[in-house]
Amino acid sequence: MVTTEPNDVSDPLEPRTPGTSDRLDTRGATGRSAADRWRPLLLRWHFYAGILIGPFLLVAAVTGTLYALIPQIDRAVYAHELTVDRVGDTMLPLSAQVDAARRAHPEGTIVSVTPAPRAGETTRVVLAADNLPADRTRTVFVDPYTGEVRGALPTFGEWLPVRAWFDDLHRNLHLGDLGRNYSEIGASWLWVVALGGLILWIGHRRRTHKLARLAVPDRAAPRRARTLSWHGAVGVWIIIGLIGLSASGLSWSRFAGENIGDLRSELSWTTPAVSTTIPGAAGSADAAAHHDSGAAQTGLAPLGADDFSKVYDTARAAGLVGPMNISVPAEPGAAWSVKENARGFPSHYDAIAVDPHTFAVTDRVDFARWPFMAKMTTWAISAHMGLFGIVNQIALVALGIGLISVIARGYLMWWRRRPTTQRTSTSNRHLPQAPRRGALNGLYPAEALAVVAIAAGLGWFMPWFGIPLALFVIVDTARGVFTTRRGARAEADTAVGAAR
């Protein structure tokens, strides 16, 4: 939720006359309730975060909503590549399908193959090619019944071009690593703004004896109060989703994501992977990381004519079901890796490693045996991306629209807070003013110290939370010093004029 609530300390819905003090009268915390001590700080924090981080959240909400609408469009655009004209009685051996793809596209190196998961769909043969960006591959689509190559497309992971374009738009605005900072700022602050707004809204409803209407707007209220009630009520409806989006977004962010990965490793919450090391094989290495990154190594021994079929048969005999991804050995002496990739519900992520000589299973990791938090992380990311089907997509669109409306109403309340009394010829140029300064002084010393320590810890763990927060503090402090000095000069001028 973005910006504020009315309160007796500094009412964000009521304008302040230009020239009045912007500092709270905080004469110590003794005798004040916890709510009275903490509310000014939360109010100022929520206000500044809402105003200054709001644009990042708005862009993320708009691009994320668009992304949630893309899957059906993507499948319609590429229907020719994804489906076959006629479902045959039997499928060609997988090796024959791969051979057909290689005859049409001999360039590059085979990275992986995804056999047709359902009747009427095509097999995907993924190639790493030198004429593509480092994070892109070329996917060749093959009719599994006839061996006809239906087309080839540049892909980002498993995403086709349309979805990959919108994925880049949401993730980095097509600005590369620089653009990823915008989404990390949004993810780092979303949960802070949302939880702060919820606490303020609960306090407001309690003081106005409307706690039972926490999630219900006041439609008959005056304009400003009505806007606030919609802002708060919609925020209540969507807050769980916002926190989920924030947490899952941070998990693959650029800087905080690295710290989260380290924390998951320390707590044994990482996603387990099969070992592609073959015991006793010379030069063997665990190439799981290479498979996960989609990279293909050069200098591998030639693949046998029937190797793909043999590995596929081994996977099916081991109980793996489609859709599954078959990755070639990443380096000499390594095993094949076969992973289920059913991201919907129920999820299937069982994986095996297959010896390239005997085609026996050398290692296995079943999804049922994943650590609970590894499962939760996978499910949270899948939900964030709308991979649980149409209901998931509808929920994401509703969440995005709700967040956009909350941000818009927050800015509307901020604008309505601009000075409207004692108008002069220049008064309309005044910007809306922030809640008054000095809120930290209203806490007990131990409370203030805890706030600073927690903020510093969060800033270290999430750099794009800490950097904007530090900038807020610096700018706000400088503004306070400037305002104080200007006020002192004005008082001195007044005194001189009175003496004359």
**CB atoms inside a 10 Å sphere around CB 389:** 12
For residue 131, is pLDDT > 90? no
Q: What pLDDT does residue 404 have?
A: 97
**Alpha carbons 328 and 331: distance in angstroms, whole number:** 9
Task: Specify which residues 337 forms β-bridges with.
Answer: 327, 353
How far, in Å, CA of 75 to CA of 117, rounded? 15
| The pLDDT of residue 496 is above 90 | no
Residue with tokens 């606030």: 228
Q: Identify which has the larger pLDDT, 396 or 279.
A: 396
Both 262 and 205 in one domain: the answer is yes
- 338-397 pLDDT, tens per residue? 999 988 888 899 999 999 999 999 999 999 999 999 999 999 999 999 999 999 999 999
Chain-centroid distance of CA 142 in Å reads: 34
Rounded percentage of the chain residues whose pLDDT exceeds 90: 63
d(CA 358, CA 344): 33
User: Could you tell me if 308 and 335 are in contact, meaning their C-beta atoms sit under 8 angstroms apart?
Assistant: no
CATH of the domain at 277: 3.10.450
Give me the residue label for tokens 């709001």.
Answer: 54
Task: State the pTM of this model.
Answer: 0.84
Task: Note down the domain range covering 103.
Answer: 85-114+126-159
Res 109: pLDDT:
92
Please list the helix, strand and coil fractions of the chain in percent, rounded to the nearest 5, in that order: 55, 10, 35
Note whether residue 417 is domain-resident: yes
DSSP 8-state class, residue 278: P
Q: Is residue 138 part of a domain?
A: yes
Burial class (CB in 10 A: 0-12, 13-18, 19+), 476: middle
Residues 141 and 276 in one domain: no
Edge to edge, what strands does the sheet with 361-365 contain? 149-155, 137-142, 123-128, 109-114, 324-327, 336-340, 351-354, 361-365
Which DSSP string corresponds to 158-187? TB-HHHHHHHHHHHHTT-THHHHHHHHHHH
Whether 338 and 309 map to the same domain: the answer is yes
Contact assessment for residue 459 and residue 469, using Cβ atoms and an 8 Å cutoff: yes
Do residues 339 and 320 share a domain? yes
Within a domain: residue 499?
yes
Running DSSP on this structure, what letter comes out for residue 26? -
Residue 12 lies in a domain: yes
Do residues 175 and 258 share a domain? yes
Distance, in Å, from the CA atom of 462 to the CA atom of 250, rounded to the nearest integer, reads 9
In a domain, 432, yes or no: no
Residue 306's pLDDT band, with cuts at 50, 70 and 90, is: very high
Contacts of 308 by beta carbon, 8 Å cutoff, 6+ apart:
94, 95, 97, 98, 113, 326
d(CA 250, CA 474): 26
Q: For 288-350, where are the E strands, in sequence order? A: 324-327, 336-340
Query: How far is residue 28 from each of residues 21, 40, 443, 448, measured CA to CA in Å?
Result: 18, 13, 7, 12
Task: Decide if 453 is inside a domain.
Answer: yes
Q: 417 vs 17, 176, 224, 384, 467, CA distance in Å?
A: 10, 38, 9, 35, 28
Residue 187 domain-assigned? yes
Q: Is 171 a domain residue?
A: yes
Same domain, 170 and 266: yes
Q: Letter for the amino acid at 31?
A: G
Number of folded domains that form the chain: 4
Preceding omega of 115 cis (within 30 degrees of 0) = no
Average the pLDDT over 469-494 and give the result. 76
Confidence at residue 2, expressed as pLDDT on a 0 to 100 scale = 43
Domain identity same for 74 and 176: yes
Question: pLDDT per residue over 145-183, tens digit each?
Answer: 999 999 999 999 999 999 999 999 999 999 999 999 999
Same domain (yes/no): 6, 53: yes
| Burial (Cβ within 10 Å: 0-12, 13-18, ≥19) of residue 36 | middle
CA distance 80 to 148: 12
Q: Tell whether 276 and 361 lie within a shared domain.
A: yes
Q: Are residues 265 and 277 in the same domain?
A: no
491 shares its domain with 420: no
Residue 76 pLDDT greater than 80, yes or no: yes
- Is the pLDDT confidence value at 102 over 90? yes
Q: Are residues 196 and 308 located together in one domain of the fold?
A: no
Distance, C-alpha 114 to centroid of its chain: 27
> How high is the mean pLDDT of the chain?
85
